[in-house]
Amino acid sequence: MKFDDSIRDNVVVFDISGKIMGGEETTMFHGRIHEYIQQNKKNIVLDMAKVEWMNSVGLGMLISALTTVKNASGRLVLANITKIESILTITRLITVFEHYDTREDAMKSFAAA
């Protein structure tokens, strides 16, 4: 797994790519989430367009990120979940995560809120 993060219109956007299987990158990802929360940046989009595959550890990473952000009174949404939609559906996590077809739609959801 690799990720790049940036801020656009006061929304943090993570571009996540590769295979999400845990490891050092997962720890780094959580560290970045915490850094943004400490900076009071609590609106977060995880763009999953370039994710190839995800295992249960990857699901745990998403759940942990969602919990961390919600506990800080923030909002985390997913975008471009096409490649991981089946695992989210099978685990019923599709009902837990707010998700949008495109990054643009996810970004607009913060403006509307």
**Domain extents in the chain:** 2-112
The size of the chain, in residues, is: 113
| Cα–Cα distance, 78 to 35 (Å, whole number) | 19
Give the number of other Cβ atoms within 10 Å of residue 48's Cβ. 24
pLDDT tens track for 43-62:
999 999 999 999 999 999 99
SS3 72: coil
Q: Which of 18, 6, 32, 22 is nearest to 103 (CA)?
A: 6
Instruction: Give pLDDT, residue 78.
Output: 98
List pLDDT tens digits, range 70-103.
999 999 999 999 999 999 999 999 999 999 999 9
pTM of structure: 0.95
For the segment(s) 2-112, the CATH number from 3.30.420.10, 3.50.70.10, 3.40.50.300, 3.30.750.24 is 3.30.750.24
**Contact call for residues 57 and 22 (beta carbons, < 8 A):** yes
